[in-house]
Chains A and B, each alone.
Chain A
Amino acid sequence: GQNIDQPTEMTATEGAIVQINCTYQTSGFNGLFWYQQHAGEAPTFLSYNVLDGLEEKGRFSSFLSRSKGYSYLLLKELQMKDSASYLCAAPIYNQGGKLIFGQGTELSVKP
């Protein structure tokens, strides 16, 4: 079966670093996505990892370990606008790009 787990909520301070973890179980592997979703808005693409290791993109980095079924999203120099839900998602192998999502991690950034 397919399953994605991530913490429900996290709180961090402006200017700090936060790591949002995601563990997944999928039949076959086709990469791992992270999306950001502000309240009442569309999810927007942040990152896609298909190989092990860390990929950095400005203040946001994403890490993948395929052997452990584990990923994390690292947010540096947190800003108030980073308060949002962060969704971990995996494509279902051989099913046309269909994604299954975790429940999302609601991040609150406080001054």
Chain B
Amino acid sequence: DTGVSQDPRHKITKRGQNVTFRCDPISEHNRLYWYRQTLGQGPEFLTYFQNEAQLEKSRLLSNRFSAERPKGSFSTLEIQRTEQGDSAMYLCASSPGANVLTFGAGSRLTVL
């Protein structure tokens, strides 16, 4: 296993378009987290899953954002009607229970 994989690594889109990011966690990890990080700031929590159940969503996650983890393995984060303020690095992390989080390299979104 090579760790947490995220795709795409970079996405440039026009305002109003929809984008989807994928995260493949470490295979034996049952918890999966999405974070957002802007330049010069620490990661901000968005949502997390235990297996396929989405257990918490941050107030930062507007109704334009939706995340799924349909079979308890990979996860997708979709942003609808993107805005310039959505430009950020979207980080995925996984863990085997409430333990050390292992992060992926992130998906950088630029909204023009």
Contacts and interface: CB of A to CB of B under 8 A. Distances in A.
Interface string B72-112: 00000000000000000001000101111111111000000
8 contacts: A42-B4, A43-B43, A43-B103, A44-B103, A45-B100, A89-B42, A96-B55, A96-B98
B8 to A, nearest CB: 14
A9 B42 CA distance: 13
A99 to B, nearest CB: 6
B98 A97 contact: yes
Interface string A19-36: 000000000001001010
Nearest to B101: A99
A8 B41 CA distance: 9
Interface in B13-57: 31, 33, 40-45, 48, 50, 55-56
